[in-house]
Amino acid sequence: MVSSITLTNTLEYIQALWIATHQMGLPIALWRLPETQEIQGIIDLSGQPQKTVIDLEELHSGFAVSPFINPEADQSLFIHADIHFTLEQDPSRETYIFSDKNLPLNDPILQIRKENFYQTVENILQTRNHSSVISSRTSYQTQDADQAIFEDMVSKAIREMEEGNFQKVVLSRTITVPIKEDINIIQTYFKLTQSYPLAFVSLISIPEHGTWMGASPEVIISTNKQKIFRTIALAGTQPYEPGVPLSEVMWKQKEIEEQALVSRYIINCFKKIRLREFEEEGPKTVIAGNLLHLRTDLTVDMQATQFPQLGTVMLRLLHPTSAVCGTPKEPAMDFIINHEPHNREFYSGFLGPVNIDGESHLFVNLRCTQWLSNRVIFYAGAGITTGSIPEREWRETELKTQTMRKIVGV
Ligand SMILES: C=C(O[C@H]1C=CC=C(C(=O)O)[C@@H]1O)C(=O)O
């Protein structure tokens, strides 16, 4: 059984691993946390992720994925960590070390499956049969909105906000692009990790639910070994011009208000559970690929406040935040459901590792793509307020897919 190997050809090995999960119909999640080098992965040997409420106190180690629409919080998928591996660059930076964490498997059937899995990986490596995009979903229809349709939808939202129906709504669109047959999804993922050092970069594939890749700048909840809870209020977008110091970046009133609405939304969630002892830092300007955003960090010491289940409680209250839905939540959600021509599915849901080495890090699924066998669907949205100009919001969604499109080469 593999436990630790030095890889001279990392790409080839991870690709064989990826193909093996598809041949055996197993869910897989790969991720890299912001500001770290290590890539981690989880494979569920049962073949079926559990549909469940994300309760950090109850769940074992795994990876959670929630769709945007999840009103009762019971539609999240949980990829159980039957295999958990890490991929670490060695100090010389020339090779990678692949380590299987050898988590205990209580069921002997899973043990046999694990042996079969690594055998399949070996067979793939020997036959060198490396097909390109392997997607867990081949036929899927979506409807891209063109510029006129998107701008009409934005204008309609502005009118409704002027009538006082809601204060902010985040409207999104899809861009479907055919891809070359020889594109290598694992290589694309590695490139994405390099382009977004400050983001949560993930690649997941779940039979019947699809293959998704993204680079999210937005934490929804995180709890670490020191029992510190963290969330952020992220909003406001402008292009990043390398060389311009972040301290000199100016923000318009519209963006300042838009971000303040997200902060207020989070603080209201704290108020609902009568939590007063939180630290608030920001807003400050942060980089996300080719863009800048405004971010406020909110942290709570769960030990000092005697609130060990804060992560679970806040996840339930926060999703979907005002950064992806709007304020107030219900009319903004209704507007999205009634007007966006596509189904958001996992876009603007949340995803991330749960209870891995005593930590959970869940992110909002932004700057993401869904991969089919012959095309990629890019998803991007923009926060709309009464100060919005429809054409600018369209351009913002273009900007939000730019880095990813460059990496995919379309
Ligand atoms: C909805 C998205 O971004 C959110 C996060 C940061 C800034 C945003 C904005 O400026 O509109 C959005 O609220 C997206 O990337 O699809």
Write the secondary structure of 341-354 as one string of H (helix), E (strand) and C (coil).
CCCCCCCCCEEEEE
User: Where is average pLDDT lowest: 1-10, 176-185, 268-277, 382-391?
Assistant: 1-10
- Model confidence at 378, pLDDT cuts 50, 70, 90, reads very high
Predicted local confidence at residue 388, as pLDDT: 96
What is the distance in A from the centroid of ligand 1 to the CA of 339? 18
Distance CA 229, CA 216 (A): 19
Pocket of ligand 1 contains residue 311 by CB under 6 Å: no
**Assigned token pair, 51:** 């549909």
What is the distance in A from the centroid of ligand 1 to the CA of 397? 9
Atom number of ligand 1 nearest to Cα 323: 13
What is the distance in A from the centroid of ligand 1 to the CA of 388? 14
What is the distance in A from the centroid of ligand 1 to the CA of 348? 9
| Residue showing tokens 């055998």 | 119
One-letter identity of residue 103: L
What is the distance in A from the centroid of ligand 1 to the CA of 234? 8
Three-state DSSP at 364 gives strand
Task: Answer for the pair 293, 240: CB distance below 8 angstroms, yes or no.
Answer: no
User: Where is average pLDDT lowest: 121-135, 148-162, 327-341?
Assistant: 121-135
- Say whether pLDDT at 292 is over 80: yes
Angle at Cα 181 formed by Cα 395 and Cα 20, nearest 5°?
Answer: 110
Give kind and range of the element (H or E) at residue 45: none
What residues have CB less than 8 Å from 311, skipping those under 6 apart? 56, 221, 222, 223, 229, 302, 360
Residues in the chain: 410
Distance CA 306, CA 304 (A): 5
Q: Between the CA of residue 190 and those of 31, 93, 135, 205, 241, what are the distances in Å?
A: 10, 15, 17, 16, 24
Which residue's C-alpha comes closest to atom 13 of ligand 1?
323
Atom number of ligand 1 nearest to Cα 172: 16
Please write the tens of the pLDDT for every residue from 93-146: 778 899 999 999 989 999 999 999 999 999 999 987 666 667 777 678 788 999
Bridge-based pairing of strands 279-288 and 62-66 is unpaired
Pocket of ligand 1 contains residue 364 by CB under 6 Å: no
User: Where is average pLDDT lowest: 133-147, 214-228, 271-285, 288-302?
Assistant: 133-147
Which residue's C-alpha comes closest to atom 8 of ligand 1?
235
What residues have CB less than 8 Å from 296, skipping those under 6 apart? 232, 233, 259, 262, 263, 280, 281, 282, 283, 284
What is the distance in A from the centroid of ligand 1 to the CA of 206? 25
Distance CA 177, CA 257 (A): 34
Mean pLDDT of the chain: 94
ipTM: 0.98
Which residue's C-alpha comes closest to atom 5 of ligand 1?
235
Atom number of ligand 1 nearest to Cα 255: 10
Mean pLDDT, range 201-218, rounded to an integer: 96
Mean pLDDT, range 157-181, rounded to an integer: 95
Task: Answer for the pair 368, 347: CB distance below 8 angstroms, yes or no.
Answer: yes
Q: Between the CA of residue 261 and those of 42, 159, 216, 248, what are the distances in Å?
A: 36, 19, 20, 23
- Say whether pLDDT at 186 is over 80: yes
Please write the tens of the pLDDT for every residue from 342-371: 999 999 999 999 999 999 999 999 999 999
Residue 358 DSSP class: T
What is the distance in A from the centroid of ligand 1 to the CA of 166? 18
Pocket of ligand 1 contains residue 293 by CB under 6 Å: yes
Please write the tens of the pLDDT for every residue from 34-79: 999 999 999 999 999 999 999 999 999 999 999 999 999 999 999 9
What is the distance in A from the centroid of ligand 1 to the CA of 404? 15
Q: Best substitution site from 400, 401, 403, 404 to test ligand 1's pocket, by max atoms within 8 Å of Cβ?
A: 400
Atom number of ligand 1 nearest to Cα 237: 10
Predicted local confidence at residue 1, as pLDDT: 61
What is the distance in A from the centroid of ligand 1 to the CA of 301? 28
Mean pLDDT, range 386-399, rounded to an integer: 96
Atom number of ligand 1 nearest to Cα 379: 16
User: Where is average pLDDT lowest: 38-47, 83-92, 219-228?
Assistant: 83-92
Task: Answer for the pair 326, 332: CB distance below 8 angstroms, yes or no.
Answer: yes
Residue 94 DSSP class: S
What residues have CB less than 8 Å from 326, skipping those under 6 apart? 166, 167, 168, 169, 170, 332, 333, 335, 336, 383, 384
Whole-prediction pTM value? 0.96
Three-state DSSP at 244 gives coil
Mean pLDDT, range 180-192, rounded to an integer: 91
Q: Between the CA of residue 129 and those of 28, 204, 392, what are the distances in Å?
A: 20, 21, 46
Mean pLDDT, range 269-287, rounded to an integer: 97
Predicted local confidence at residue 263, as pLDDT: 97
